[in-house]
Chains A and B, each alone.
Chain A
Amino acid sequence: MLSPVLCSDLAALEPEYTEADVISTVEFNQTGEFLATGDKGGRVVIFQREPQGEYNVYSTFQSHEPEFDYLKSFEIEEKINKIRWLPPHNPAHFLLSTNDKTVKLWKVSEKDKRAEGYNLRDEEGRLKDLSTITTLQVPVLRPMDLLVEASPRRVFANAHAYHINSISVNSDCETYLSADDLRINLWHLNITDRSFNIVDLKPENMEDLSEVITVAEFHPHHCHLLAFSSSTGTTRLCDMRARALCDQHAKLFEEAVDPSRQSFFSEIVSSVSDVKFSHSGRYLLTRDYLTVKVWDLNMENKPMETYQVHDYLRTKLCSLYESDCIFDKFECAWNGTDSVIMTGAYNNYFRMFDRASLRDVTLEASREVCKRRAVLQPRRVCVGKKRKETDVSVDSLDFRKKILHTAWHPKENIIAIAASNNLYIFQDRLTPNGHHNTPEIQSAM
């Protein structure tokens, strides 16, 4: 199990923050060298890992602006719902970012040369005396300070009537999907003026609407497979080879509900808030309100593993419903070797489950406890009486502090945790022989 050490807490410089600063998505690129975050203010911040291992800001740009749809008379928020990196093309980096309606492809590139030598002006831009110009001068490129620029390459707009909840790049590297509440569209990365609708759940009559799409993701290796989950707690696997329209699924992952535990909230808490394929492509990780589940693609009727994230909330669903917290969409993540899974919870806690040893841990990401180079201490939430000094009672959990967005470095044990406006990056502290298990505290502060 990971014993994380804080290596960077990047956005956490200001204690005071506005709604626009709240981080809405976190995503590592394929190599893990870069990490991108999007926030409710439409900004994307990219961090680069320094040789020493720390992540520092590499580029910041405004990806989306608030808009107003005059035809339908509603506001389109600038909030970044998802970011997905494209596989590396060339020295520049490409990522897709989306708000509720529009997906954009951004290029982030470095520039370290600039042209010098004008014919008609000097370097300050003043016009030269034309009589001095006797020969033509061709500009030459000279080195300059490194400049990182982000430029929008494509805008994929006007294809979604509902709010986009996911984007996912296909393993063929030429297409990607975007999913809203009722439809999934397939795009070619080079073509912005058309997309193909591959899944459409919209009923003839909107009154018959029984479910919405919550997440959609492509398989990491098989270009024809995609998974999407719905608010009813099911996850469907579609094979794009079979037909052009994927309304009919190839597989349906659903667990039979235990009638004894059925209640008014059953359907709400079973809504899948995140789906992630394992790196191997064999498993699916799904998160619902109370649990995180691992499914084998070859077994549809029940999950292989079910982990309780915060089962103690089962008795509090009523008040969570009243405060709308029950609709929070927690994300989940695999580690690089698919052996550990991670997901967020309330009170700035996040949970990790080791699949082999079945050990689990609750950790807290907050400014008070996260000191540089200090190993995080496990937390425990208790339902009844406190057994230890450090235990926290369920009633004292702060439901406004929630960790919805998490990401795991694709290869190493580095995790990124977004808690409101703060981004925490924890790194497993390595012992000299490379083993991952040293609980001692190191403080470099």
Chain B
Amino acid sequence: MAGAEGDDSLYPIAVLIDELRNEDVQLRLNSIKKLSTIALALEVERTRTELLPFLTDTIYDEDEVLLALAEQLGSFTVLVGGPEFVHCLLPPLESLATVEETVVRDKAVESLRKISQEHSPVDLEVHFVPLVKRLASGDWFTSRTSACGLFSVCYPHVSSTVKAEIRQHFRTLCSDDTPMVRRAASSKLGEFAKVLELDYVKSDIIPLFTALASDEQDSVRLLAVESGVSIATLLPQEDLEDLVMPTLRQAAEDKSWRVRYMVADKFSELQKAVGPEITKNDLVPAFQNLLKDCEAEVRTAAANKVKVFCESLPEDSRETIIMTHILPCVKELVSDTNQHVKSALASVIMGLSTILGKDNTVEHLLPLFLVQLKDEYPEVRLNIISNLDCVNEVIGIRQLSQSLLPAIVELAEDAKWRVRLAIIEYMPLLAGQLGVEFFDEKLNSLCMAWLIDHVYAIREAATCNLMKLVEKFGAEWAQNTIVPKVLGMANDSNYLHRMTTLFCINALSEVCGQEITTKHMLPVVLKMSTDQVANVRFNVARCLQKIGPVLDSSALQAEVKPVLEKLATDQDMDVKYFALDAISGMYPFISLTFQHISSQKHFHSPLYYPLQFFFFNKSAKMSTILCFSVNMGSNGCNITKSEKLKGV
């Protein structure tokens, strides 16, 4: 420890400073993250004259350290003496803006943009703009790409001569030799256009945009599309046709599918930017072409936009355009060869029914829904089912129910457990829309079958599904239809099914209410406390804890407490643990006869902590066999709830 003469308060800071250059990256990183503490201790003067010069030269470090440094410096203004001295932060950020790692550069640019706001107009011209110019004319493309993101923040605050220089620099970067710089310029073009005066947008930006949009590199052209959308929002309507549309039209028909994909992906923004007239004349045919594109990726992106595009069409001609132009394309896409296209369409097609109204939906859309419900790919069917509510509002679901049922049954029995899982999640929604009779008649048996699925994730989802169904249909329905079946499983020979009964009770007790829980469920749970499988017994303890709040205190005292007390003396340590846990958990409900035991902390068995325990603490003593399957494909992942096999 520090001697009597030394300054004790310096010690922690001295350690932090020394660790700025520790061999261990983690320690350096920690130190960089506490850079503000170091700066505070050094005070503003020494921070400016010693710390920052050191940091400026340490750009050899690991990326993660540099990233942290770039982030820290963005909020360092106060620590160097306030806005008056904010320019001192420029040198280290400048060197960070030239490193080869993109994330570091981007962070440095972000921090530079942030501190540019803290510069006075004079400082901007004296310090910030020269930095931007240096970066813009740097030898390496890394610095020039960084410069592209900085023009827009200083432009509005500088004099008109400097503005002219900035525009000139930006122009130069737009025709840089390296595609990396042109990409950066292309992606920042829209942002830069926003801060420019309208005349310059027309005289400077439009030619640059046109040039970038016909660059030889696909990757430059595709970035120009997004900028084109931003530029279109800035221009008055009458200029759009001449200045932007020729280029955008060309982009929509670009030879490269990646550029067309970008157009499809940005289509709704584009539609908003150019207004209803151009939409009608230009975008509708362009959109038709994209929906018929030869590349599936493009069709997928366009299919995703069908609903939004149709919604934003001008109201007076919306229906006609959809019926005559869009719908024919949509009809073709329904039987596309590519599953991703069909599935993208299936996720939005139902939305068209609200736009087109009842008659059109019945006549034109319904046949398409029916085709998609029979599609060979489960994802397509699922997407239709998951959006049923849109159709329900317009025509009622009855129209579909005949086709719906086989589709649901098929998905419910799909060999892939993820598909089964997905359809279970839509069950409550379907039940609500189809009504209780239809449900009882057709779907109830499916819901019960899932409870004995061989994949844990399905059984778990099935119990959760039951709870939601009861919320919809009420406790009485539960008592008549599902509770008897659930309780029946308590006598199953498979311990996993017996446990499912307990899990169902966990989920159902609250929604079913006190009466059903006490009268029907509790006896079954209590009976299972003598099960020969330890897993069942400790789940009884957990179940009792869970349903405790639903029961009245007399039942707790008279029935639950003796069982838990018995379980607390079980020979299995885990059963014991959960029984004690349950007893202490029921503090408000049970008089504490076991207080002395439950306070013993060493009962906290590590085994039933969440799963990461297995992975992170390999040294744990595991006396029992853990049974889990990691085959995600066919059996699902039982890992999340390890099922302990013992005494079977």
List residues of chain A with CB under 8 Å of any chain B CB. Answer: 87-92, 94, 107, 109, 111, 113, 115, 118-121, 129-141, 153, 171-174, 190, 221-224, 240-244
Contact with A along B42-76 (1 / 0, CB 8 A): 10001000110110011010000000000000000
Q: Which residues on the B side are within 8 Å of A222 (C-beta)?
A: 216
- Contact yes or no, B17 A119, CB < 8 A: yes
Q: Most chain-A CB neighbours within 10 Å: which of B20, B98, B100, B295?
A: B100
Question: Known interface pairs A131-B2, A172-B217. Does A119 touch B58 (Cβ–Cβ under 8 Å)?
Answer: no
From residue 202 to 219 of chain B, which have CB atoms closer than 8 A to chain A? Answer: 216-219
Verify if B637 is at the interface (C-beta below 8 Å from A): no
Q: How far is the CB of A277 from chain B (nearest CB, A)?
A: 16
Q: Which residues on the B side are within 8 Å of A111 (C-beta)?
A: 60
Q: How far is the CB of A157 from chain B (nearest CB, A)?
A: 19
List residues of chain B with CB under 8 Å of any chain A CB. Answer: 1-7, 10-11, 13-15, 17-18, 20-21, 41-42, 46, 50-51, 53-54, 57-58, 60, 98-102, 140-142, 178-180, 183, 216-219, 254-258, 294-297
A242 to B216, CA, bound (A): 15
Q: How far is the CB of B66 from chain A (nearest CB, A)?
A: 13
Q: Which residues on the B side are within 8 Å of A190 (C-beta)?
A: 102
Q: How far is the CB of B9 from chain A (nearest CB, A)?
A: 10
Question: Known interface pairs A115-B21, A131-B5. Does A244 touch B15 (Cβ–Cβ under 8 Å)?
Answer: no
Besides the known contacts A111-B60, A244-B257, 5 further A-B residue pairs in the complex with CB atoms under 8 A apart: A131-B6, A132-B6, A133-B14, A136-B13, A190-B102
- Contact yes or no, B256 A119, CB < 8 A: no
Question: Known interface pairs A107-B100, A136-B42, A244-B297. Does A131 touch B219 (Cβ–Cβ under 8 Å)?
Answer: no
Question: Known interface pairs A130-B3, A171-B179, A224-B218. Does A241 touch B98 (Cβ–Cβ under 8 Å)?
Answer: no
Q: Which residues on the A side are within 8 Å of B297 (C-beta)?
A: 244
A224 to B100, CA, bound (A): 25
The 3 closest A-B pairs by CB, nearest first: A131-B3, A119-B14, A241-B256
- Contact yes or no, A223 B10, CB < 8 A: no
- Contact yes or no, A94 B100, CB < 8 A: yes
Question: Known interface pairs A113-B57, A244-B296. Does A90 touch B7 (Cβ–Cβ under 8 Å)?
Answer: no
- Contact yes or no, A241 B14, CB < 8 A: no
A199 to B21, CA, bound (A): 47
Q: Which residues on the A side are within 8 Å of B11 (C-beta)?
A: 130, 133
Chain A, interface SS category: loop
Cβ contact of A115, chosen from B13, B58, B140, B257, cutoff 8 A: B58
Nearest A residue to B103 by beta-carbon distance? A190
Q: How far is the CB of A407 from chain B (nearest CB, A)?
A: 24
Q: Which residues on the B side are within 8 Å of A134 (C-beta)?
A: 5-7, 10
Q: Which residues on the B side are within 8 Å of A132 (C-beta)?
A: 6
Q: How far is the CB of A90 from chain B (nearest CB, A)?
A: 4
Nearest A residue to B56 by beta-carbon distance? A141
- Contact yes or no, B51 A138, CB < 8 A: yes
Q: How far is the CB of B157 from chain A (nearest CB, A)?
A: 30
A120 to B20, CA, bound (A): 13
A89 to B139, CA, bound (A): 9
Q: Which residues on the B side are within 8 Å of A223 (C-beta)?
A: 179, 216-219
Nearest B residue to A131 by beta-carbon distance? B3
A172 to B4, CA, bound (A): 64
- Contact yes or no, B216 A133, CB < 8 A: no
Nearest A residue to B46 by beta-carbon distance? A138
- Contact yes or no, B7 A88, CB < 8 A: no
Cβ contact of B219, chosen from A140, A174, A243, cutoff 8 A: A174
Q: How far is the CB of B7 from chain A (nearest CB, A)?
A: 6
Q: How far is the CB of B452 from chain A (nearest CB, A)?
A: 33
A7 to B1, CA, bound (A): 62
Q: How far is the CB of B241 from chain A (nearest CB, A)?
A: 28
Cβ contact of A242, chosen from B57, B140, B257, B296, cutoff 8 A: B257
Q: How far is the CB of A170 from chain B (nearest CB, A)?
A: 9
Nearest A residue to B293 by beta-carbon distance? A243
Nearest A residue to B260 by beta-carbon distance? A241
- Contact yes or no, B13 A131, CB < 8 A: no
Q: Which residues on the A side are within 8 Å of B3 (C-beta)?
A: 129-131
Nearest A residue to B47 by beta-carbon distance? A138
Question: Known interface pairs A90-B99, A138-B50. Does A224 touch B256 (Cβ–Cβ under 8 Å)?
Answer: yes
Q: Which residues on the B side are within 8 Å of A137 (C-beta)?
A: 14, 17
A415 to B217, CA, bound (A): 31
A132 to B216, CA, bound (A): 65
Nearest B residue to A89 by beta-carbon distance? B100
Cβ contact of A133, chosen from B7, B21, B99, B102, cutoff 8 A: B7
